[in-house]
């Protein structure tokens, strides 16, 4: 093991060199160096040498643009190559650039994502092993599964399919040769049924959030709202604030709400406008605004309406939609981020989504605030999110200098949440 570029890496007995454009292989290496193609060569270590010293020596030669020990890189087969059959059709993963997340990890089971919704088919094959502490606040039991035939919204499968569809977008298992891939395929699901046949009650809404708090949820997805514009009842606002500030030892839970599908303006006293809530509107396959999404000052960002997801009773379907399908895209990404950066507070994470949203090219955002009533501060994109999380990640080894052996080499460790916080404090909200 050697300390190479700040990381402990195992080296092979060789160095890799890249020649300057037009340079020939130094005479001293002819016969021993192995050609890797183009200007790249592998140079074996001599009997009493080591790879790091060799790389340093070689970097001094005028022909050599870059030299580096031939290290063993911790790597696995690309996680992007999923064996899940409908993965290639999940267009929204491409829209947000989810491959950049998958290349790094598939998330962590330590991160618990609560889905407060209608029933969730916890026996679905693509949720196997994902579920903890299921709860039914509607029937007050511990089984949030659909009651077949009840709460038929879309007529898919065994009915009551909404919660299953939401959960699938967030964390359907990956590489299990089954159905699809969620955005955080290794996050843990806390399914909470709160919607069902007939009207809901305030007490059920509160019981749902209390369960998410008691189970220490890191993210709480809410693809629901009231059908009319009504002020948030104070006890519900209070329990949501507690969720956002008390879980995870005080770091809090990111509370994500769908903007709603009524093509109306959300006013300041509604659920989606609460201080701690991240409010998500929906864009379509082409990045255009959907014609149903609610809008207003409270919209924080837009995400694609993820139409293809799990169907209650088994398999997938392709006609899910609305802001109900956009909020879980954000919640899945939130779960992935907290898997990688568990020390982020819910408020830091909420600001990260707002700060790193990419302004839509379809509309003109307010030049003063950066806001747009439909897109909020912009669209969810992995490129901007990862750049905000890892501001000092080395760029591709585009520039080459003869001097140092390790200039621009990878292997740096991700920054801590404190680094991110400092960055957020510097950037603040667009103004
Ligand atoms: Ca039940
Ligand atoms: Ca799967």
- CATH number, position 295: 3.40.50.200
Higher pLDDT, 422 or 19: 19
What average pLDDT is seen over the chain? 88
Instruction: Label residue 419 by pLDDT band (50, 70, 90).
Output: very low
The ligand whose atoms approach the alpha carbon of 150 most closely is: 1
Is 391 strand, coil or helix? coil
Ligand 1 center–CA 263 separation, angstroms: 32
Instruction: Label residue 156 by pLDDT band (50, 70, 90).
Output: low
The reply to whether 421 falls in a domain is: no
Query: Range with the lowest mean pLDDT among 70-79, 230-239, 411-420?
Result: 411-420
What CA–CA distance (Å, rounded) separates 45 from 130? 48
The reply to whether 427 falls in a domain is: no
Instruction: Label residue 4 by pLDDT band (50, 70, 90).
Output: low
**The predicted structure's pLDDT at residue 77:** 44
Ligand 2 center–CA 386 separation, angstroms: 25
Higher pLDDT, 406 or 340: 340
The ligand whose atoms approach the alpha carbon of 119 most closely is: 1
| CA distances from residue 339 to 31, 124, 343 in whole angstroms, order as listed | 48, 24, 9
Same domain? 135 vs 206: yes
Ligand 1 center–CA 329 separation, angstroms: 26
Assess contact for 296 and 373: CB atoms under 8 A. yes
Same domain? 39 vs 104: no
**The predicted structure's pLDDT at residue 75:** 47
The ligand whose atoms approach the alpha carbon of 130 most closely is: 2
* Cβ partners under 8 Å of residue 141, min gap 6: none
Same domain? 209 vs 324: yes
**The predicted structure's pLDDT at residue 8:** 63
Q: Which of 72, 99, 133 is at the close of a domain?
A: 72
The ligand whose atoms approach the alpha carbon of 186 most closely is: 2
* Cβ partners under 8 Å of residue 223, min gap 6: 115, 117, 162, 166, 258, 322, 323, 324, 325, 327, 328
Higher pLDDT, 386 or 409: 386
* Burial class of 7 by CB neighbour count within 10 A (0 to 12, 13 to 18, 19+): middle
Same domain? 132 vs 36: no
Same domain? 66 vs 118: no
**The predicted structure's pLDDT at residue 108:** 98
The reply to whether 380 falls in a domain is: yes
The ligand whose atoms approach the alpha carbon of 192 most closely is: 1
Residue range 24-78, pLDDT digits in tens: 999 999 999 999 999 999 999 988 888 888 998 998 999 999 998 898 765 444 4
Assess contact for 326 and 260: CB atoms under 8 A. no
Same domain? 59 vs 134: no
Residue range 339-354, pLDDT digits in tens: 999 999 999 999 999 9
Higher pLDDT, 367 or 394: 367
The reply to whether 413 falls in a domain is: no
The ligand whose atoms approach the alpha carbon of 137 most closely is: 1
Same domain? 36 vs 136: no
Same domain? 157 vs 259: yes
**The predicted structure's pLDDT at residue 50:** 87
What CA–CA distance (Å, rounded) separates 124 from 128? 7
Residue 235 has pLDDT above 90, yes or no: yes
Q: Which helix (H) or strand (E) holds 353?
A: helix 346-356
Higher pLDDT, 49 or 3: 49
**The predicted structure's pLDDT at residue 159:** 85
The ligand whose atoms approach the alpha carbon of 87 most closely is: 2
What CA–CA distance (Å, rounded) separates 325 from 310? 12
Residue 113 has pLDDT above 90, yes or no: yes
The reply to whether 240 falls in a domain is: yes
Ligand 2 center–CA 177 separation, angstroms: 6
Same domain? 95 vs 23: no
Query: Range with the lowest mean pLDDT among 301-315, 352-366, 389-403?
Result: 389-403
Residue range 170-223, pLDDT digits in tens: 999 999 999 999 999 999 999 999 998 877 899 999 999 999 999 999 999 999
The reply to whether 152 falls in a domain is: yes
What CA–CA distance (Å, rounded) separates 163 from 137? 13
Residue 311 has pLDDT above 50, yes or no: yes
Ligand 2 center–CA 356 separation, angstroms: 29
Q: Which of 40, 72, 104 is at the close of a domain?
A: 72
The ligand whose atoms approach the alpha carbon of 139 most closely is: 1
DSSP H helices, 77-201, are 91-96, 99-104, 162-171
Ligand 1 center–CA 130 separation, angstroms: 18
The reply to whether 344 falls in a domain is: yes
Higher pLDDT, 400 or 77: 77
What CA–CA distance (Å, rounded) separates 327 from 169? 10
Ligand 2 center–CA 323 separation, angstroms: 23
**The predicted structure's pLDDT at residue 334:** 98
Ligand 2 center–CA 171 separation, angstroms: 9
Q: What is the mean pLDDT of residues 410-425?
A: 37
Ligand 1 center–CA 135 separation, angstroms: 8
Instruction: Label residue 12 by pLDDT band (50, 70, 90).
Output: confident
The residue behind tokens 């709860």 is: 135
Ligand 1 center–CA 57 separation, angstroms: 70
Output DSSP code: residue 367: T
What CA–CA distance (Å, rounded) separates 37 from 23? 14
b/e burial code for range 12-48 (CB count within 10 A of at least 16 → b): eebbbbbbeeeeebbeebeeebeeeeebebebbbeee
For residue 51, the enclosing domain spans 2-72
Ligand 2 center–CA 82 separation, angstroms: 8
Ligand 1 center–CA 140 separation, angstroms: 7
Ligand 2 center–CA 181 separation, angstroms: 5
Assess contact for 138 and 204: CB atoms under 8 A. yes
Assess contact for 299 and 259: CB atoms under 8 A. yes
What CA–CA distance (Å, rounded) separates 69 from 31? 19
Ligand 2 center–CA 182 separation, angstroms: 7
Residue 298 has pLDDT above 50, yes or no: yes
Assess contact for 384 and 47: CB atoms under 8 A. no
The ligand whose atoms approach the alpha carbon of 83 most closely is: 2
Ligand 2 center–CA 13 separation, angstroms: 41
The reply to whether 431 falls in a domain is: no
Instruction: Label residue 149 by pLDDT band (50, 70, 90).
Output: confident
> Pairing relation of β-strands 277-283 and 2-4?
unpaired
| CA distances from residue 167 to 43, 94, 282 in whole angstroms, order as listed | 51, 19, 17
The ligand whose atoms approach the alpha carbon of 144 most closely is: 1
**The predicted structure's pLDDT at residue 197:** 84
The ligand whose atoms approach the alpha carbon of 194 most closely is: 1
Same domain? 66 vs 98: no
Ligand 2 center–CA 206 separation, angstroms: 32
β-strand partners of 222: 116, 257
Residue 410 has pLDDT above 50, yes or no: no
Query: Range with the lowest mean pLDDT among 7-21, 244-258, 280-294, 376-390?
Result: 7-21
Residue 417 has pLDDT above 60, yes or no: no
Same domain? 47 vs 158: no
**The predicted structure's pLDDT at residue 397:** 41
Ligand 1 center–CA 177 separation, angstroms: 29
The residue behind tokens 């643009």 is: 65
- Total structural domains in the chain? 2
CATH number, domain at 15? 3.30.70
Same domain? 369 vs 246: yes
């Amino acid at each position: 093991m050697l300390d190479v570029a700040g990381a402990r890496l195992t080296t092979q007995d060789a160095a890799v060199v890249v020649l300057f454009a037009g340079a020939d292989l130094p005479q001293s290496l002819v016969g021993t160096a192995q050609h890797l193609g183009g200007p790249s060569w592998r140079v074996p270590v001599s009997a009493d040498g080591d790879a790091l010293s060799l790389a340093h020596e070689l970097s001094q030669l005028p022909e050599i643009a870059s030299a580096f020990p031939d290290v063993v890189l911790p790597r696995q087969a690309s996680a992007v190559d999923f064996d899940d059959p409908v993965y290639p059709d999940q267009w929204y993963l491409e829209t947000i650039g989810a491959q950049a997340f998958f290349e790094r990890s598939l998330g962590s089971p330590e991160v618990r994502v609560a889905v407060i919704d209608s029933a969730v088919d916890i026996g679905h094959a693509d949720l196997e092993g994902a579920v903890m502490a299921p709860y039914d606040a509607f029937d007050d039991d511990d089984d949030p599964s659909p009651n077949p035939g009840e709460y038929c919204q879309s007529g898919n499968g065994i009915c009551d399919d909404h919660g299953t569809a939401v959960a699938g977008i967030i964390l359907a298992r990956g590489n299990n040769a089954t159905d699809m891939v969620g955005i955080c395929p290794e996050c843990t699901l806390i399914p909470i049924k709160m919607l069902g046949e007939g009207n809901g009650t305030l007490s059920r809404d509160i019981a749902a959030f209390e369960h998410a708090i008691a189970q220490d949820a890191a993210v709480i997805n809410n693809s629901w709202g009231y059908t009319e514009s009504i002020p948030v009842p104070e006890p519900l606002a209070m329990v949501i604030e507690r969720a956002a500030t008390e879980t995870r030892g005080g770091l809090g839970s990111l509370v994500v709400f769908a903007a709603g599908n009524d093509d109306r303006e959300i006013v300041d006293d509604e659920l989606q406008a609460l201080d701690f809530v991240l409010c998500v509107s929906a864009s379509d396959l082409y990045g255009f605004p959907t014609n149903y999404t609610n809008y207003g000052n409270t919209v924080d960002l837009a995400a694609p309406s993820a139409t293809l997801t799990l169907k209650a009773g088994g398999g997938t379907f392709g006609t899910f939609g609305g802001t109900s399908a956009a909020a879980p895209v954000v919640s899945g990404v939130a779960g992935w981020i907290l898997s990688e950066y568990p020390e982020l507070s819910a408020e830091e994470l909420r600001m990260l989504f707002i700060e790193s949203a990419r302004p839509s090219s379809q509309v003109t955002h307010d030049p003063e605030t950066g806001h747009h009533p439909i897109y909020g501060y912009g669209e969810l994109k992995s490129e901007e999110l990862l750049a905000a999380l890892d501001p000092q990640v080395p760029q591709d080894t585009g520039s080459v200098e003869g001097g140092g052996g390790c200039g621009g080499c990878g292997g740096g460790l991700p920054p801590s949440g404190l680094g991110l916080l400092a960055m957020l404090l510097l950037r603040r909200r667009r103004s």
